[in-house]
Amino acid sequence: MQHKVPAGLSHKEAEIYRHLDPEKLPKHIAIIMDGNGRWARRRHLPRVAGHRAGVAAVRSTVETAARIGIHALTLYAFSEENWKKRPRSEVDFLMRLLGRYLRAELPTLNANNIRLEYIGRQHELPQDVQERMQWAREATGRNTGMVLTLALNYSARSELVDAFRSMLLTASKNGGIEHLRIDEDTVCNHLYTRYLPDPDLVVRTSGEMRLSNFLLWQLAYAEIYVTPTLWPDFRGMHLLEALAEYQKRERRYGGLNGDGHAHEQPVVAHK
């Protein structure tokens, strides 16, 4: 395969990219960033040092995804469970880190034409963090390239509960719930992710084989790629390795081949 390597890729990234088919890249990639704590423990550092190091991984992954023309990247930064079950000091640290990330990365996001979005129950986050988030979203709102969505205080089950509530509320405002008709499109239009296509690929770092309450509806047909690399060690190069593996897979969507249609005659046709 010979095709143009996008500007800005490192030598190693370019090597992997050359073997990819640019026509068959996933449109939307979702990532469960995991392993910050273990990364820190292996170095006898406090857990928060792992989160701090995780920011470099976010930067590299976001830039590489944007450079190769991925339409949407969604990062699971902070689950609703994290919020409730981690020590207050760690949660506070993560909130400050997010605030600093948003301020520091804004020029890079704009330079890469990236639009920032969020999913999760934002209204439960500290007021100053919400304000910084809104500021960053507005400051990137006119960008037309990749949509970077940060899942913050996110839970897929809460998202579904919120979607059901939103469907009922909308119906009650539009003639009453007796007229409510629910199908898959209705549900999709009430999810936090209504502006996004479903992810084609979900990546999880640090070797765990779980979805951990992440995009449960939207990942129905996604390819799952798990790498033992801990999140702070993850870079754009590792994302490209995930894409190489993705392109080897045959996507079926419940059918018999990649486009969801059987090439061979179905058994019944031979009768």
Residues that bind ligand FPP (CB under 6 A): 33-38, 51, 54-55, 58, 75, 77-78, 82, 97-98, 101, 150, 206, 231
Is residue 233 annotated as a catalytic residue, yes or no? no
Q: In this complex, which beta carbon is closest to ligand FPP, that of residue 27 or of residue 38?
A: 38
Is residue 174 annotated as a catalytic residue, yes or no? no
* Distance set, CA 246 to CA 58, 109, 144, 147, 222 (Å): 20, 26, 26, 21, 10
d(CA 230, CA 240): 16
Provide the minimum distance between the beta carbon of 152 and ligand FPP in the complex, in angstroms, as a whole number.
Answer: 8
Q: Where are the beta strands (DSSP E) in the chain?
A: 28-32, 72-79, 115-119, 147-154, 201-204, 223-226
Q: In this complex, which beta carbon is closest to ligand FPP, that of residue 17 or of residue 149?
A: 149
- Options 34, 112, 143, 198, the catalytic residue: 34
Phi-psi region of 206 (alpha: psi -120 to 50; beta: other; left: phi over 0): left
Provide the minimum distance between the beta carbon of 149 and ligand FPP in the complex, in angstroms, as a whole number.
Answer: 11
Q: In this complex, which beta carbon is closest to ligand FPP, that of residue 26 or of residue 54?
A: 54
- The Cα diameter of the chain in Å comes to 68
Provide the minimum distance between the beta carbon of 57 and ligand FPP in the complex, in angstroms, as a whole number.
Answer: 7
- Options 36, 82, 112, 143, the catalytic residue: 82
Instruction: Please identify every residue annotated as catalytic.
Output: 34, 82
